[in-house]
Amino acid sequence: MWKMAADGGGKEANEIKTQFSTREGVYKLLPNSEYSRPNRVPFNSQGSNPVKVSFVNVNDQSGNGERICFNVGRELYFYIYKGVRKATDLSKPVDKRMYKGTLPMCHDSNALTATAESVALLVGFSAGQVQLIDPIKKETSKLFNEDRLIDKSAVTCLKWVPGSEHLFLVAHSSGCLYLYNVEHTCGTTPPHYQLLKQGESYAVHTSKSKSARNPLLRWTVGEGAVNEFAFSPDGKFLACVSQDGFLRVFSFDATELRGTMKSYFGGLLCVCWSPDGRFIVTGGEDDLVTVWSFSDARVVARGRGHKSWVSVVAFDHCITSVQDCKAQAEFSGSDEDFHDDAQFNGNRERANSAQSGLSKQNSTNGSVTYRFGSVGQDTQLCLWDLTEDVLFPLSRTRTLTNAMSGETGANGNNSANSSLPHSNSLQHSTGTSPNSNKPASIVDSALIATGVSKFATLALHEVRKERNQEKEHKRNHSISFISNKSSDKVNQIIGARVAKTDVAKMPGITSCPRMEEIPLLEPLVCKKIAHERLTVLIFLEDCLVTACQEGFVCTWARPGKVGLLSSQNQDGSPSGTVV
């Protein structure tokens, strides 16, 4: 229970944190708001299904409208979520279920139809079935794929289609997604399909059945499991991440591919949209978080802070701030040049369409700040800020290049020390030089960035010792353990890996730029907050919620939102947290 992370930096680095500071204040863990199994005994999580958490608001006029659902092992719990207001009473779940022969993997409630008297909750299982239950009425309405005739593999993600009372989408580890209607039944024989649409690395089939039956559609996406998907805020687009390392974004109704991105290496495990639908963040087995611009179809930044796979990424809608700017930015090229790398220039309707012109605006009178977070198997929580110096680099690059050119003429050398980005990012140099035609490498980028490296606590070029060189790291797609003692060593490691892959999948292309070609973010906060791998990160109005594989769901009060619980004491916290 008290074991620490494998790669620590002493006692302080391995200590479980119960609070952390950001520019807006101090976030504090509320032990009395912790949810878990009623006996509060840590769950033996080895090889088990991941602990997942979902919320739904039933619009209860009493002010206690939030409901929380979480699974631990074979058990599924449904509680009234009291958050920062009152202490948790684990002895009074609204509903509790124990399953035999299969494990609950994920769940989602229909926010459109939820009331204080009824909630439509979908639960996906390791054997492939999907169950529709009402935890308030304690009823089981329907079981889909009961005989596993549609798909025999585990459910990896499921969600209600935004704005629909009846449609929901289910992803499986087989690499397929299925669209269901709760009003329709599943057939007693395996479904037969006919091709509806096909494109690069995907195909959409519809059922041949003359009568209405599930599934309505089958999507076959990429190679390997579809690990997660997310609908855009307006519900028009679908972002999927797969074990083959690709992010694919589809127009949901038209079933058309609108853009792709490739991980640096390894599979992608998680995905989320920014609140305005303009950016997508992914995380995965390369230990990175990657920010992709939907409108420009390009990677705009990567973030490095985790020491292992990134399991969840999420935007904080309460901190994210997008304000219209009053002046047009200076561009070093035309608008056409700016969109050369875009893979589509069609209809780009978004939620909050008033912000659609932000990519062409940047001045001191306006600001753009996106806050997002990530948690991983390294038991760490990271918070990141994404600001205009990273999102709109053209005018800044022009100014920086001019400044560097002036310094070169006067001093005979370049210096980037005077222009540290405001978002805690490490901007790699893009200025011209006599050697600019030479292929760049990770080590070259490290040498260029030496002037600002002291500001980056977790920058890419930080020298690390390789441990157990004879024994390959069990996650062999992990850049956190690549030492950059010499360019030969780095090239040897990377070359050996990419040699086994298709040329189109190598870093250095539009869908997967090289490390030195884009900004490298460092986290605002990077704290160890659990003993076992983290599987949940959800931002709510007055708190953020995390969960680890031991089965503990923790509430972290936002600054100024601690309330009465801050003065309460609970002896012997079951999660073993210490201040």
Q: What are phi and psi of 322, to 5 degrees?
A: -125, 115
User: Does 414 map to a domain?
Assistant: yes
User: Does 103 map to a domain?
Assistant: no
User: Does 313 map to a domain?
Assistant: no
User: Does 497 map to a domain?
Assistant: yes
Q: What is the pLDDT of residues 9-62, one digit of tens each?
A: 445 557 899 999 999 999 999 999 999 999 888 887 666 799 999 999 998 777
- Whether the pLDDT of residue 380 is over 80: the answer is yes
User: Does 48 map to a domain?
Assistant: no
DSSP states along 495-521 = HHHHTTS-GGGSBTBTTB--GGGS-EE
Which is nearest to 421 in space by CA: 452, 380, 459, 379?
A: 452
Q: Which two tokens stand for residue 107?
A: 């769940």
- Residue 547 and residue 556: Cα distance in Å, rounded? 11
- Mean predicted lDDT score pLDDT of the chain: 77
User: Does 195 map to a domain?
Assistant: no
Tally of domains within the chain: 1
**Between residues 578 and 95, the one the model is more confident about:** 95
- 561 backbone φψ class: left, alpha, beta (φ>0; ψ -120 to 50): alpha
pLDDT given for residue 505 in this prediction: 54
User: Does 214 map to a domain?
Assistant: no
**Between residues 463 and 160, the one the model is more confident about:** 160
Q: What is the pLDDT of residues 308-333, one digit of tens each?
A: 999 999 999 999 876 543 333 333 33
For range 280-296, the mean pLDDT: 96
pLDDT given for residue 493 in this prediction: 46
pLDDT given for residue 405 in this prediction: 52
The percentage of the chain sitting over the pLDDT mark of 70, rounded to a whole number, equals 66
User: Does 306 map to a domain?
Assistant: no
- Residue 103 and residue 93: Cα distance in Å, rounded? 20
Cβ contacts of 524 within 8 Å, gap of 6 or more: 22, 23, 383, 384, 385, 424
Cβ contacts of 142 within 8 Å, gap of 6 or more: 131, 132, 182
Which residues constitute the domain of residue 498? 386-525
Query: Which position has the token pair 């074979």?
Result: 74
**Between residues 374 and 406, the one the model is more confident about:** 374
pLDDT given for residue 472 in this prediction: 40
- Residue 178 and residue 333: Cα distance in Å, rounded? 44
- Residue 129 and residue 97: Cα distance in Å, rounded? 16
Which of 13-27, 481-495, 564-578 holds the top average pLDDT? 13-27
- What is the distance of C-alpha 427 from the center of its chain? 22
- Residue 323 and residue 207: Cα distance in Å, rounded? 46
